[in-house]
Structures are given as C-alpha cells and as structure tokens.
Structure 1
Amino acid sequence: MQDRNHMKLETFDDVRKSIDKNSDREFQLLLGNGFSMAYDSDIFSYNALHDFVTALDDEDLTTIFSVVKTRNFEVIMSQLDNFLAILDALGGDEMLKKRLANASKKLKHSLLEAVKELHPEHVFKIPEDQSKSCSQFIRLFLDTGGSVYSTNYDLLLYWVLSRAAKEHYGLPAMESFASLPMNGATVSCLTERYVNRRTKSG
C-alpha cells in the first residue's frame, strides 16, 4: 500500500485521463489563491495584499504581522479567532478581547479593500484567449455533473463565467452561481444545470 505521506501528486494530464476513464463519475474542482495568481501574481499574491495592508500603518495590524510571521491572511484570521475563543474561555481581559476583535475586523476589512484596490477594473482586462481557455478548463469538470468551488475574494471566476455565457463558450449563466458558508469561510459554488453535452452527443 502506498504511504499516504508520500502519495504521488497528480498532474493535470493525470486528472484529464481520470475524467475520461470515469465518465459516470462527478468530478469536483476547488479553486484557491493559485487560480488568481495564475492571472497576475503581482496583484493577487499574499505579498501584494500584505504590502497594501501594511502601508495603512495600523499599529495593531503591524504588531500582529510581526508576531505571527506569515502573510497568509486566512491563517492570521484563524489564529486571532482561536486566541479570542481561548481568552473568552479563560475569562481574559475584556479590553484585550475587544482590541483583538477590532483588529480582526480591521484585518478582514483591509483585505477586502486591498482586493478592491488592486483588482482589475473590468472583465475585459482579462485577455479573451485567457478567458476562453479558463472557461474550457472549468467546463471539463462541469461536464461530468460536478461543481466548481472557489475560496477567492476576487471576481475573476465570476467574470470568466459571465463572459463565457455572453460569448457562447458553452458555460451556464449566472443563476447557477451561489455562495456557501463552509468552516467559517465563504465558498463560491458553481453547479452545472445544463444537459451534459458530452453524454448527449455520444
């Protein structure tokens, strides 16, 4: 048996072969920050977002960044939530709890502001060939009856889907796009509701 700690990391070609071999199976796709960084790492990397937030020169946020020594916003927010829960359970100082809670809110707000300020202005900032290629990639999973999930804050996936529907790339319209709460985070979900063209055609 293969050691779970040393499992082979599948390539995209491996995934495509698996989809082709298992035509009766639904395949799900989870998109994370790498999806956005593939478009422009200068905009959507944690470093770019971190630089934007630290430029705000907020004392509490600067202190938190220096202590946790990571630029992963999700990790920082999770650590703040855990620390607040521990303080609450142990009857910690109310002023400290309030300060940490405010810092957590400021961090979340600052992250959204960073994404808004750094985000491309409109859908047509994405080159047509990239948008079309992305929609074809997504369709590989939707054609199996599966869903596409995204943990990202930006609008790139939404824009790709909107443009695909308008340009008739073969993807569904926006009514099949929804947001789901999952483990404290918002996960966007796209579920295919149109007739499976691959099954229909053959």
Structure 2
Amino acid sequence: MTHEELVAVYARRSDVPLGTWRSMFERAQEAIEVLVYAALFLHEQIPDWNDLLRARAAAGCRVRVLIGAPDSEAVRVRGGEERFGHGIESRCRLARLHYAPLVGAKGIEVAQHSTVLYNSVYRADDELLANTHVYGATAYANPVFHLRNGHAPGLFTTYAESFDAVWKTAAPIRKRPPWPVPSTTTIPPRPCPTARSWPPVPPCSTRRDDC
C-alpha cells in the first residue's frame, strides 16, 4: 500500500463520518459495489439510500450489491463468532427486503453470496472503504480503511478483485423473497353468547360486529 492509496484509517466503522459515506457514493459515475452480509446502517443512516442508487444507475453508473444468504453456513458461523446468534440471519433477511424494490431496476444488480466475509467492501469508482472483520467483534466496532485507487496494483486493487471473485459465486436475487412469507392469520368471529351463558352477559344486537 502506498501513501497515495491511503486516505484515512478509522478505529471503528462507527467513526466514519456519515457525510463520507454519502458523498463518496453520490460522486460515483461508473461503478458502485457493495459486499456485505447486511449493512443495515446504510438504509438506517441514509434514508434515501435506494433513491441514491437509482439516481446513480440512471446516470449510467453500474450498481452491484452483494448481501449474505441468510441460510448459509458462513452466516450461521458469523452469528456464533459475534455472539449474535440468529441475529445475523435476521439482518440478512431484512437487507433482502430493503433491496427488494431495486431488484430488476435498470443498471442495478442485487445478489446473495454464501462466502466467509473477511472484509465488507464499499466501492464508488476510485474510492473504497474496507471494513475489516475481527473475530468476535461486530462490524461497526471494527477498523475501516479509506482507500483511493493509485492506478497501480496495490491494496485498492486487491479489495476490488475480491468483490469480483465473490460476485462470480453469487446468486441473483429474484423479486420474490427466497424464504416463506408467513400468511396473515384470520381470527374467526366470536360467537354471540346464548341465554344459558354464565356469567350473564348483555344480549347481542342483531349486528354481528356488536358481539
């Protein structure tokens, strides 16, 4: 890694200014790439995140998003490592729902991967934020490297190529969620009490919804 590549180092992902995330992606002209398990903070801290991606895609930017397959072994193991249990799986499912409106949009591709996530990668053209993953610690508490492409093989290239490697193994997400969606349970109407009911209750009117 050269000094030309390194923009900043943050002890924790939570230390990265919100403006850095937003401005980096808003400037993208050619490529936006996101490799994560869930990264729900993007939708939480940038409420118009989906609109931002749509706008960049409409301007000709290729947008590719990789999220974790919730039922994969890698996600299950990560939940145990972070002592978060099924929380990681649930977050992957929620990420899938967040990105569902973008599936099929022109210029935007969303896919699921089942790989071990050694680093989360957020790329916008020649800028990249690499969120390392330390065993036992959650992503927001781990270091982040802010890199710029030095136009020579280096750390930026290594992370960019890792995204492409995972992309080749991923499965495109379909419009319908890949897991069962619970149906709404219909509660049957409560029957009117009869004259023999005990304890005594006021009689029902002729309207069923008065019971």
Question: Structures share a fold, TM > 0.5?
Answer: no
Question: Quick check: which one's helix share is greater?
Answer: 1
Question: Quick check: which one's strand share is greater?
Answer: 2
**What is the TM-score with the length of structure 1 in the denominator?**
0.29
Q: Rg: which structure is higher?
A: 2
**What is the TM-score with the length of structure 2 in the denominator?**
0.28
